[in-house]
Amino acid sequence: MLALAALAACKGASRRAAPPPPTLDAAPAIDARPAPGGWFPDDASIKAHVDELASPALRGRGDGTADEAAAATRVAAWLREAGAEPAGDDGYLTRFEYPGGKSQNVVGVIRGADPQAGHVVVGAHYDHLGQDERGIYLGADDNASGTAGLVAIAAALAHDGQRPRRTVVVVAFGAEEAGLHGSAAYVARPALPLAEAAAMINLDMIGRPEFLAAKDYAMARAFVAKDAIGALTSPGATALADLAHQAGAAVGRPVVAASDFGPLEDQIRPLVEQRGDQASFAAAGVPYLWFSTSMHDDYHLPSDTPDKVDPGTIAAVGRMVVAVIAGMPDRAALRPAADAR
Q: Which H/E stretch holds residue 26? A: none
Check pLDDT > 70 for residue 34: no
Check pLDDT > 80 for residue 333: no
The confidence score (pLDDT) of residue 282 equals 96
Q: Which CATH superfamily is domain 2-8+30-338 in?
A: Zn peptidases (3.40.630.10)
Q: What is the C-alpha separation between 256 and 307, in angstroms, rounded?
A: 25
Check pLDDT > 80 for residue 176: yes
Q: What is the C-alpha separation between 170 and 106, in angstroms, rounded?
A: 8
Write out pLDDT tens, residues 289-308: 999 999 899 999 999 999 99
Identify the band that residue 338 occupies on the pLDDT scale cut at 50, 70 and 90. Answer: very low
Identify the band that residue 330 occupies on the pLDDT scale cut at 50, 70 and 90. Answer: confident
Separation of first and last alpha carbons in the chain:
19
- Kindly state the average pLDDT of the residues 197-210: 97
Mean pLDDT, the chain, integer: 87
Identify the band that residue 273 occupies on the pLDDT scale cut at 50, 70 and 90. Answer: confident
- Helices marked H in the chain — which ranges? 2-5, 43-53, 66-82, 146-158, 181-188, 218-221, 238-251, 265-272, 278-283, 311-327, 331-338
Q: What is the C-alpha separation between 130 and 136, in angstroms, rounded?
A: 6
The confidence score (pLDDT) of residue 335 equals 59
The confidence score (pLDDT) of residue 17 equals 35
3-class DSSP assignment, residue 144: helix
3-class DSSP assignment, residue 125: strand
Check pLDDT > 80 for residue 169: yes
- Kindly state the average pLDDT of the residues 180-188: 98
- Kindly state the average pLDDT of the residues 273-302: 94
CA distances from 307 to 69, 114, 132, 208, 295 (A): 24, 41, 21, 10, 17
The confidence score (pLDDT) of residue 37 equals 63
Write out pLDDT tens, residues 100-151: 999 999 999 999 999 889 999 999 999 999 999 999 999 999 999 999 999 9
The confidence score (pLDDT) of residue 32 equals 34
Tell me the helices (H) and strands (E) count for the chain, helix number first.
11, 11
Write out pLDDT tens, residues 85-103: 999 999 999 999 999 999 9
Q: What is the C-alpha separation between 321 and 341, in angstroms, rounded?
A: 25
- Kindly state the average pLDDT of the residues 227-245: 94
By the 8 A CB rule, do 67 and 61 touch? yes
The confidence score (pLDDT) of residue 14 equals 36
Domain boundaries, the chain: 2-8+30-338
